[in-house]
Amino acid sequence: MPRVIAYIDGYNLYHGLRDSNWKWAYWLNLQALMTFFLHPPETLVKTKYFTTIVKDNPGRRVRQGVFLEALKTLQDFDIFYGHFLSNPVTCVRCGHTYTTHHEKMTDVNIATELLVDTYTDQYDKAFLVTADSDLSAPLEAVRKLFPHKKIVVLFPPARSSKQLMKLASGYEYISRNRLSKSLFPETVKKPDGFILKRPESWR
């Protein structure tokens, strides 16, 4: 039975949903979404989600926290965290200085997990949910060294990469229809009995 592991670039997926103005899809059961791309008799053995905790917006951070807690109720689901790097920027015209935040480590974490899982033979097919061309190098390495391993790129809404298309075993686009069928219920019960509620703005 072919084993599948999904590697999800949370930052890339989020921005694809945001650019599409699909806030309703933020409350997404990522594991359920991945099952729509399986071909029998394939089995999803693990889902790995890569994200970064929001820093600059308390409301967004609270909503993200609720979502992450919902994801933690899923079996065979791992979350890997990057971080935001703060950089002061000074306007050359007015001299005003402000702080920008750049997400770091997500692509490195994905590449590391993909390569380790490949070398230790943890999967037969990988789903790579991203349009980040920075992941071309590890994808190309796997395809060259382990040609029997398949990597299918699943592009988030409003996202694509010609470079990843060329290197992958195949690619698909994540559709609105599949997203709509992969949402968590309005409330999610944690193992300790605590009830998580879908954020009101995610409707």
Per-residue confidence (pLDDT) for residue 199, from 0 to 100: 97
Residue 112: partners with Cβ closer than 8 Å, 6 or more residues away: none
Averaged pLDDT for residues 115-125:
98
How far apart, in Å, are the Cα atoms of 5 and each of 88, 129, 149, 158, 181? 38, 11, 11, 23, 20
pLDDT in tens, 16-42: 999 999 999 999 999 999 999 999 999
Domains of the chain: 3-197 (3.40.50.1010)
pLDDT tens string 63-116: 999 999 999 999 999 999 985 445 555 666 676 654 454 555 789 999 999 999
Mean pLDDT of 125-131: 98
Return the ∠ at Cα 32 (arms to 61 and 139), rounded to 5°: 80
CB 188 within 8 A of CB 196: yes
